[in-house]
Amino acid sequence: MLDTVAVAAEDPNREQPWADLGLKADEYQRIREILGRRPTSSELAMYSVMWSEHCSYKSSKVHLKQFSELSQETPVGKMLAGIGENAGVIDIGQGYAVTFKVESHNHPSYVEPYQGAATGVGGIVRDILAMGARPVAVMDPLRFGPLDADDTHRVLPGIVAGVGGYGNCLGLPNIGGEAVFDETYLGNPLVNALCVGVLKHEDLHLAKASGVGNQVILYGARTGGDGIGGVSVLASETFDADGPAKRPSVQVGDPFMEKLLIECTLEIFAAGLVAGIQDLGGAGLSCATSELASAGDGGMHVELDRVPLRDSTLAPEEILMSESQERMMAVVEPGDVEAFLAICAKWDVEAVVVGEVTDTGRLHIDWHGERVVDVPPRSVAHDGPTYHRPFARPDRQDDLQADAAERLPRPESGDDLRKTLLTLVASPNLCDKSWITDQYDRYVRGNTVLAQPSDSGMVRVDEETNLGVAVSTDCNGRFAKLDPYAGAQLALAESYRNVATGGAVPLAISDCLNFGSPEDPAVMWQFAEACRGLKDACAQLGIPVTGGNVSLYNQTGETAILPTPVVAVLGVIDDVTRRTPSAWSSAGERVFLLGETREELSGSEWAHVVHGHLGGLPPQVDLEAERSLAQLLHAGVGLLTSAHDLSDGGLAQALVEAALRHDVGVSVAVPGDAFLGLFSESTARALVTVPDGEAERLVELAEEHGVPITALGVTGGDSVAVDGQFELPLDELRAAWTATLPAALA
């Protein structure tokens, strides 16, 4: 065998394009030390993508490790799989488990909005599938620049179409998410994608290649030139200056192939034919081979020639870096290979044995008779660089926090309050998002219980017992800018509260931490504080972090995005038929506010929209109050006719959304300062209703749980009326609330 590895050892001084592939000089030198020679071009390709920020978490893992210190117990059962696996798996009782995870596909979605967003959905779905679960729902937290910006008009329609097009073709309901607008996201849209899957405990599968002699099978779509280097830098002609033109860095998705891959894989699982499995996402074959080998017996041999190609001109380096979608890699016992391949043929999914598990402790990859890779797999998959990036609280933080929004001029009359409310409900962050969500199928599969615009998404897991789960994603980047420690906790608190309003018990979280450049000490301070805040909050609430994603370098020039630690909370509900809706549906119900309202306006939508202001301290975090409120909301299932969390826009926004949902108005008396009562964004609060005659029961329940309660009024009529201040017809409110996105994006 001609040994390219041996040639590399004999030719140590050859110039290599390590810098063009995103490696630093010390990283390249470290690779040489690991191998005892210079890397081959194929090895260099593998290390470059696997040691990229996206794959190796080299700037963030020193902070992320604190999440592993949290208890693995949930309020219902144990975490069956967690950090380090493709996705976290949670016991929800009755023999069922749920897996969920949220990840980013930000930069690809800026370069090519439709395919970037579509393949973001496809990738997270395969992560869930690889755990042995059937994917049952998706969600999409999105962030864009100003709604009136030209580039927002370029990226938003494509991103939304990509999310909807891929998910709809897979037959997966999109049950929630966010669409937030801020000038810092101009040039850096955030496309975070979440998927939820369901499995029985015994169906759990892990990503490891164990069992010497077991066969390694690549199945799914053919490998092409799309997505090469998508997780690090564009792979160009550096490997071969006379070769094909520069490959596209954004993957191209085929949801119909993914649907076949899902059904094929689930049948393979049911037949018990898999010893280990991994999806091919970021870093493609480089990731799948090195991670499977590293997590298993430590050795693997692969014949790269056997990989089915869409493009015969691909060099081995490009095959290893390609992020072509809809591919999986399985480890199968020799006696099961024939049955495995037969199931793939049944589903018209191409499958090829490309290698086998060995006991060498090395990852060996051959190409046309040449050994092009000979590496210790752990050095590629897990032992990449670890950076202790310097971080420091920026000097400007004091000035920012001193500039409190509570000092800003406020509306003084009822008419001013009326105008303020109309302005806010029509603002991009608070307006109706139906222009987006109507492009998503929310009810396919028939198990969707709650979806947009409800506080959380909810799906039924078991059709006989009506066991179900609820999920919410949330983050207020302005709060995180003012105080990243509190901002991360506030994101968790809001998501936790949204799950609780439907009647579910919050169990666990997944996170997607979106920040600017880690080379900026101020950004790293934001990141470190957010991680610390999230860990402390989870410890206090007693819920684990199951896994997640970090997206860094979301920055244009010196302008970083708002720190955006998106937090997804998953909860369980024993009977989805008894869930609490987010809005009342009939007149004559009694309306109450649960929780305490304080003078908390900094970082609020009122300050942002009316004054263009960001400064001060975010609302107070009170996790014990959040826990008590959640317990009350759970205890109130069956009594409460609706429950809506209070967050962006405060009580005023909640009243409007609840009234417009079923065209039933409301009359309330807001005690004290009407402006604060309507627009403060204090946390641990919910707007709830009960039938007439049940008010006393609710008051007793609130007292039992130590939750402040305020009687506000009664549902009915065709307006939102605030006693002594103003009355706004529902028709006028609906016109203002619904017009914004269609007018901007027509």
- What torsion do the CA atoms of 721, 724, 726, 727 make, to the nearest 10 degrees? 30
424-427 contacts, C-beta under 8 A, 24 or more apart: 424/605, 424/606, 424/609, 424/610, 424/649, 424/652, 424/653, 424/679, 425/649, 425/652, 425/653, 425/656, 425/733, 425/736, 425/737, 426/736, 426/737, 426/739, 426/740, 427/605, 427/609, 427/740
Closest CA to 139 of 112, 152, 153, 120: 120
Q: Give the DSSP letter of residue 663.
A: T
Q: 323 labelled as ligand-binding?
A: yes
Strands (E), 603-725: 642-645, 666-668, 686-690, 709-715, 719-722
Q: 412 labelled as ligand-binding?
A: no
Q: 472 labelled as ligand-binding?
A: no
Q: 254 labelled as ligand-binding?
A: no
Q: 105 labelled as ligand-binding?
A: yes
Catalytic residue among 63, 105, 205, 613: 105
Q: 104 labelled as ligand-binding?
A: yes
Q: 127 labelled as ligand-binding?
A: yes
Cβ partners under 8 Å of residue 411, min gap 6: 417, 419, 420, 675
Rg (CA), the chain: 26
What's the rounded Cα separation, in Å, for the pair 93 and 436? 35
Active-site residue, 54 included: yes
Q: 447 labelled as ligand-binding?
A: no
Active-site residue, 105 included: yes
CA 715 to each of CA 663, 677, 688: distance values in angstroms, whole numbers, following the listed order: 11, 18, 11
Q: What are phi and psi of 557, to 5 degrees?
A: 60, -125
Q: 56 labelled as ligand-binding?
A: no
Closest CA to 440 of 52, 42, 5, 138: 138
Q: 325 labelled as ligand-binding?
A: yes
Q: 214 labelled as ligand-binding?
A: no
Catalytic residue among 54, 63, 301, 644: 54
CA 700 to each of CA 250, 696, 708: distance values in angstroms, whole numbers, following the listed order: 57, 6, 11
Yes or no: say if 306 and 363 are a contact pair by the CB < 8 Å rule: no
Looking up tokens 């109706």 gives 432
Q: Give the DSSP letter of residue 306.
A: G
SS3 state at 630 = helix
Q: What is the 3-state secondary structure (H, E, C) of 631-642?
A: HHHHHCCCCCCE
What's the rounded Cα separation, in Å, for the pair 498 and 251? 34
Closest CA to 619 of 527, 494, 455: 494
CA 598 to each of CA 592, 624, 669, 729: distance values in angstroms, whole numbers, following the listed order: 17, 16, 17, 28
Cβ partners under 8 Å of residue 317, min gap 6: 41, 42, 44, 45, 235, 239
DSSP symbols for 25-77: HHHHHHHHHHHTSPPPHHHHHHHHHHTSHHHH-TTTHHHHGGGGGS-SB-SSS
Q: What are phi and psi of 82, to 5 degrees?
A: -140, -140
DSSP symbols for 540-600: HHT--EEEEEEE---EETTEEPPPEEEEEEEEEES-GGGPPPSS--STT-EEEEES---S-
SS3 state at 120 = helix
* Residue 463 buriedness (CB in 10 A; 0-12 / 13-18 / 19+): exposed
Q: Give the DSSP letter of residue 88.
A: E
Q: Give the DSSP letter of residue 192.
A: E
| AA identity, residue 402 | A
Q: 236 labelled as ligand-binding?
A: no
Closest CA to 484 of 420, 528, 427, 550: 528
Classify strands 174-181 and 559-560 as parallel, antiparallel or unpaired: unpaired
Q: 477 labelled as ligand-binding?
A: no
What's the rounded Cα separation, in Å, for the pair 120 and 612? 32
Yes or no: say if 486 and 162 are a contact pair by the CB < 8 Å rule: no
Q: Which two tokens stand for residue 681?
A: 């964004």
Q: 529 labelled as ligand-binding?
A: no
Q: 549 labelled as ligand-binding?
A: yes
Q: 631 labelled as ligand-binding?
A: no
- Residue numbers belonging to the annotated binding site for Mg(2+): 103, 127, 279, 549
- Residue numbers belonging to the annotated binding site for ATP: 57, 101, 511, 548
Residues noted as catalytic? 54, 105
- Residue numbers belonging to the annotated binding site for substrate: 104-107, 126, 251, 323-325, 551
- Residue numbers belonging to the annotated binding site: 57, 101, 103-107, 126-127, 251, 279, 323-325, 511, 548-549, 551
